[in-house]
Structure 1
Amino acid sequence: MSTDATMLAGLKVDREVFTEQVRSSYDFIVCGGGSAGCVVARRLAEVPEVSVLLIEAGGSDRVPSVIDSTQWMWNIGTERDWGFRAAPSPTVNGRTPLLPMGKVLGGGSSINGSVWARGHKHDFDRWAEAAGDPAWNYESALAIYRRVEDWQGPKDTHRRGSGGLLNILQPENPIPLVAGLIEGAVGIGIPYVEDMNGAAMEGEGGCGLPNVLVQDGNQRVSMAATYIHPYMDRPNLAVLLCAEVTKLEFVGKRVTGVSFLRRGRHYTVSADKEVVLSLGAINTPKLLMLSGIGDAAELHAHGINVMQHLPGVGKNFQDHILLAGCCWEYITPEPPRNNAAEFVFIAKSDPSLKTPDLMPVLEETPFGSEVTASQFDLPVGTASAWTLAPGLARPDSRGRVRLASSNPFDKAIIEANFLATETDMKAMLRCVEMCREIGNSIACAPYRKREVMPGPLKGAEMENFIRNAAGTYFHQSCTCKMGRDEMSVVDGALRVYGIDGLRIADASIMPDISTGNTMAPTVIIGERAGEIIKAHYGLAAVA
């Protein structure tokens, strides 16, 4: 039996039954089966008397390159990736960085690096302030985390949960380099912490092993596998794959359903109660604008009738900026293990900052951009080198998502605007400096044949390297932000302003991007949406 076949045969039986029959109406339609959409659909389907349709544009997540958490990077550019790119920008020397986003059941949770990073205390308290609702604050988020987690690491009863749906642990038997990186980080004043999601995320940060969603060695724990697959035999949950939503349907100012294309056939399905958009920070604003919700002037320019003028739709785009840089060649090649990203640190570029703003991560492979990989002598082979990739956790740069046309199958234009502010460049310069200090430390010498890049560049040369190496952390967010100002798109109950029967539950509603990988906070958004909707309709779940 082949390795792939063995892996598939070893999966737990999860009652996978995808729907082929599309009914004319459901109580709730959830558009997008990603990290939040899977959560919302599951929580609503726990109520037997309501019917739920989950629509996902991609295909099944039951393929080896999704199931094996070490293969996550090989999904980029495949049919499981939307294939987005940022528009050319002088802030990255005219480059068009890739912006991968999951197009598969489970969304990003099916193709990402499996890192579970809860976010900082200040993130959630800021969201609560923006929404005017304390139910979004840190203590509320902490209660949800404790409920959904089955934490396998150091005991912390106040912050960590056990017995929940999500199997969360620290990488087992990490590559030897990790110990050297920890020692090197401690040497420059970044403390080692036993749990990167513990007290460190209420204070100054630290370094150590990330939390990962992995079980049985290297099997991915995605939101699809956790929330949806065990419920797929429920008669009140229909999961429709390979179906791309093209438009919201209205009666007056009320959303009454959606239209979508599936395998060459157009469908329109009604939602008797609500539609929930969980299409992600690129496709959610795109669908809103195609349906007449957005900045009136921009909609008129594409010949789209305005249903609701909301100038914030597509604005406030944020992403953690990651550099494909700070790479060292191994003395002895070392194949990646676990999720191939077994070390992270969270720190401040300036001690006067309230919240840590740096989040580098280990990539257990040579990692360069399309420019830096050709400029430097990057070693060949997955196991030949390692990269400590500098990253910004709280970038000041803001971009936007806008329509290319009124054709729903034309990709949106994404102006990522990476490194558009002096503050971001200053923070990234400090981050590169810290990564180089750690990578070139005595503790890492046994794993370092040579520094591949960037080397001791100074001034304009280092800034140019950063602009050539800058790209995405795959954490697109904030384009339909929650809040109370004129640029807000949803209120604290996730209702789209001026529209009935429509909520948004995905990373687009973040007022500001979270400090750390965005999957875990996106799950919190999905859980909150489920709570809010069930409370609104007086629905009680049955296990």
Structure 2
Amino acid sequence: MGGVTEREEFDFIIVGAGSAGCVLANRLSADPKTRVLLLEAGGSDFNFWVKMPIGYGKTFYHPKMNWRYLTEAVPGIGNRPSYWPRGKVLGGSSSINAMVYVRGQHEDFDSWAALGNPGWAASDILPVYKRMENNLAGADQWRGTGGPLTITNMTGSTHALADDYLESAAAAGIPFNPDYNGEKQDGASIYQITMRNGLRCSSADAYLRPARRRPNLEIRTGAQVTRLIFDGHAAPSLEYMRGGRLFTVRTNREVILSAGAVNSPQILMLSGIGDGAKLSGHGIKTNYDLPQVGQNLQDHLGFDYIYEANCQTLNDVLRPLHRRMAVGMQYLATRTGPLSLSINQAGGFVRSDESRKRPNIQLYFSPLSYTRAIPGKRALMRADLFSGFMLGTSNCHPLSRGEIDLRSPDPFAAPVIRPNYLSDERDVEELVQSARILRKIAAEQPLADKIVREITPGPETESYEDMAADIRARSGSVFHACGTCAMGPDQRSSVVDPRLRVHGVPGLRVVDASIFPLITSGNINAPSIMVGERGADFILEDMKR
């Protein structure tokens, strides 16, 4: 890497090498005349636990690859904090997530457009999805091939219990859907994952690795941005800390924040962009009064029902040392077996009641059960001692809204995260309905014959009140935070315009999941990468004007 001086200047500075940032680095540096700097607070993704698909159990609490945020105590879930793993590594959260690939419903993006965001309707973003994908199922009206991001369907490789789950779901009135990313999302499915040849295919693998040898792309890891600087130029400079030294770098075109739903609003606020009253309380001068910075926080909330089984599950494979060694040798020799997959092997999308116009509940099936580790105490989620599996659920369209705020003007202090889960009682009602769907599936054959008992929460939890209390006691984040720099036409109700430019701030965009005005239906890594592609399109188009 080259030396750093105060006089350095780039055409584009991208802050964050995550799901969207890696896309931007690739697309913007494709023109050899354009100089691009990519800054990432974390380090290299060259790590066995990152590359092995099931290794995310190890990275879940890894101090060097994970921001390991804790929210404030949340009244709606029993005044418990919620743990938020966020990627602090090349590839961002796409390097530490469960790899499930969900585009979202067509209605999600039509809703974005209806809020005053032209260019974001389902018909606009379908070509973008197809362009970015190399779906190993082959191209059709909905799927793309030949793109940088490899999509693998786990059908044929999953545990036998996944097929039992699909049959029981069908018996419960949830038909099989071979492609939930196709014409419709409804139904039970085997999940598609971002995996290539038995290895995780993160945004860094798909986009950054092919571009990193370009002489016009500079990648600096271990570089944490502390603030943007506005000094009368059309585009801002910024400061970042690296190796204990503070550096300043300037752009002659744009700074692009791709630091995610937590860190992008944090950097804006540290730079004097946000609610002026709140900023003054931290002693920060207001450069641009944008009260919606950090607001509109959305996340999916989920929980699991745990069952003891009378047949072998992945607990029996991943818990005993000799069997762990056997599947480890299998993976190292062939890149196949349970270590080459996600533990979320099946699931689907359903309507909690017949009045719903589209699916509002996501389902998960995992052929193992595990005890979640305590942050800082143990680095791995540990399979339970008994043969077990989990049925899980989360809400697709939560109505509760939270916020991100500064804890102090110190850029190295973790921000305040207030998710406000279940502050809207309708979210509770929806999740109770989803829990009843889990039990309905478990009661059908062939899964019913494999169940010894429901361990958690247990059959005694049956009334609406008891089920709601259990949800408040046990539910947690599904790690899909978004919306904190929401896109929209009016700066009083949004942070960026439909082309992802920060309202009123020249030379500054936000391109990551924080721009979602409404959360998408399901895992958000696919739409986050799509936002990176869409943002790159806008930037390149604007360069030609």
TM-score (norm. length: structure 2)? 0.90
Do 1:29 and 1:257's aligned partners in 2 also have CA atoms closer than 8 Å?
no
- Measure, in 1, the Cα distance between the counterparts of 2:168 and 2:139: 27
The equivalent residue for 1:214 is 195
CA distance in 1, matches of 2:438, 2:382: 19
Residue from 259, 262, 270 that aligns with 1:290: 270
Q: 1:482 aligns with which of 480, 487, 500?
A: 487
Report the CA distance between 1:183 and its aligned residue: 1.0
Q: How many residues align?
A: 508
Pairwise CA distance, 1:379: 9.5
Task: Return the alpha-carbon distance in structure 2 between the equivalents of residues 182 and 383 of structure 1.
Answer: 23
Residue 498 of structure 1 is matched in structure 2 by: 504
CA contact (8 A) 2:225 2:241 kept: yes
Q: Deviation per CA, 1:317-366: give whole Å up to 9, x if none.
A: 0011111x201123233227211111011011132223311012123432
Contact 1:366 1:386 in 2 (8 A): yes
Asked if the contact 2:370/2:384 (under 8 Å) is kept, the reply is no
Aligned partners of 1:130 and 1:482 also within 8 Å: no
Please tell me whether the aligned partners of residues 209 and 343 of structure 1 are also in contact (alpha carbons under 8 angstroms): yes
Q: Pick from 286, 299, 307: which aligns with 1:306?
A: 286
**Distance of 2:68 and 2:296 partners within structure 1:** 21
Q: Secondary structure at the match of 1:150?
A: strand
Q: How many angstroms does 1:129 deviate by?
A: 2.1
User: Aligned in 2, Cα 1:430/1:369: closer, same or farther, shift over 3 Å?
Assistant: farther
Amino acid at match of 2:282: H
Partner secondary structure for residue 446 of structure 2: helix
CA contact (8 A) 2:256 2:508 kept: yes
Cα distance 1:370–1:95, how it changes in 2: closer, same or farther (>3 A)?
A: farther
Asked if 1:59 corresponds to 2:43, the answer is yes
Is it true that 1:158 corresponds to 2:137 in the alignment?
Answer: no
With over 3 angstroms needed to count, the CA separation of the structure-2 counterparts of 1:251 and 1:208, relative to structure 1, is same
Contact kept? 1:394, 1:514, Cα under 8 Å = yes
2:151 is matched with 168
Q: Report the secondary structure of 1:482's partner residue.
A: coil
2:104 equivalent to 1:124: no
TM alignment of 1:20-39, pairs within 5 A: 21-22=3-4, 24-39=8-23
Letter in 2 for 1:475: H
3-state SS of the aligned residue for 1:442?
coil
Instruction: Write the mapping of 1:211-250 to structure 2, written as runs, cut at 5 A.
Output: 211-217=192-198, 219-250=199-230
State how 1:330-341 maps to structure 2 within 5 Å: 330-335=309-314, 337=338, 338-341=341-344
The alpha-carbon deviation at position 258 of structure 1 amounts to 1.2
Matches within 5 A, 1:338-377: 338-367=341-370
CA pair 156-188 structure 1, distance change in 2 beyond 3 A: farther
1:129-185 deviations in Å (ceiling 9; x for gaps): 22431x2110111101111111122x5621111111111121141001111111111
Residues 1:446 and 1:66: Cα distance change in structure 2 (over 3 Å): farther
Looking at structure 2, the residues matched to 21 and 393 of structure 1 have their Cα atoms a distance apart, in angstroms, of 47
What CA distance in whole angstroms lies between the structure 2 residues aligned with 1:513 and 1:417? 15
SS in structure 2 of the partner of residue 229 of structure 1: helix
Q: Tell whether the 8 Å contact from 2:12 to 2:36 is kept in structure 1 after alignment.
A: yes
Q: How far apart, CA to CA, are the structure 2 residues paired with 1:106 and 1:503?
A: 20
Q: Secondary structure at the match of 1:271?
A: strand
1:441 counterpart letter in structure 2: E
Q: 1:277-305: CA deviations, max 9, x gaps?
A: 00000000011001000011100110110
Q: CA deviation at 1:518?
A: 0.4
Q: Deviations over 1:102-126 (max 9, x none)?
A: 1110001100011110010011111
Contact 1:496 1:502 in 2 (8 A): yes
Secondary structure of 1:430 counterpart: helix
SS of the equivalent of 1:104 reads: coil
Unmatched segments (≥5 aa) in structure 1 = 1-18, 372-377
8 Å Cα contact 2:370/2:382 also seen in 1: no
CA distance in 2, matches of 1:77, 1:144: 33
* Matches for 1:41-120 after TM superposition, within 5 Å: 41-78=25-62, 79-120=64-105
Q: Do the aligned residues in 1 keep the contact of 2:59 with 2:65 (CA within 8 Å)?
A: yes
Q: Which runs of 5+ in 2 are unaligned?
A: 319-337, 375-380
**What is the rounded CA distance, in whole Å, between the counterparts of 1:101 and 1:59 in structure 2?**
14
CA distance in 1 between counterparts of 2:244 and 2:388 reads 45
Which residue number in structure 2 is paired with residue 515 of structure 1? 521
Q: Which moved more, 1:441-450 or 1:390-399?
A: 441-450
Counterpart residue identity of residue 416, structure 1 = P
Matches of 2:359 and 2:46 in 1, distance apart? 37
Trace 1:249-268 onto structure 2 (pairs within 5 A). 249-252=229-232, 254-268=234-248
Q: Secondary structure at the match of 1:185?
A: helix
2:306 aligned residue: 327
Between the aligned partners of 1:491 and 1:354, the Cα distance in structure 2 is 29
C-alpha distance in structure 2 between counterparts of 1:124 and 1:166, whole Å:
21
| Equivalent residues of 1:333, 1:383 under 8 A apart | no
- Contact 2:371–2:382 (CA<8 Å) still a contact in 1? no
Compute the displacement of 1:380 (Å). 5.4
- What SS does the corresponding residue of 1:200 show, helix, strand or coil? coil
- C-alpha distance in structure 2 between counterparts of 1:526 and 1:343, whole Å: 27
Q: Matches of 2:410 and 2:357 in 1, distance apart?
A: 44
Secondary structure class of the residue paired with 1:248: strand
| Structure 1 residue aligned with 2:465 | 460
| Change in 2 beyond 3 A, CA 1:22/1:230 | farther
- What code does the residue aligned with 1:121 have? H
Partner residue of 2:403?
400
Of 451-460 and 102-111, the range deviating more from structure 2: 451-460
Cross-structure match for 1:12: none
Structure-2 residue corresponding to 1:536:
542
What residue is the counterpart of 2:124 in the other structure? 140
Q: Which residue of structure 2 lines up, in the alignment, with residue 525 of structure 1?
A: 531
Distance in 2 between the 1:388 and 1:498 partners? Answer: 47
What SS class does the counterpart of residue 36 from structure 1 fall into? helix
Identity among equivalent pairs (%): 36
> Superposition RMSD on alpha carbons, in Å?
1.9
Is the contact made by 1:359 and 1:391 (CA closer than 8 Å) also made in structure 2?
yes
Q: By how many angstroms is 1:446 displaced?
A: 4.8
Per-residue CA shift, 1:214-244, capped at 9, x if unaligned? 1223x10000011001111110011111111
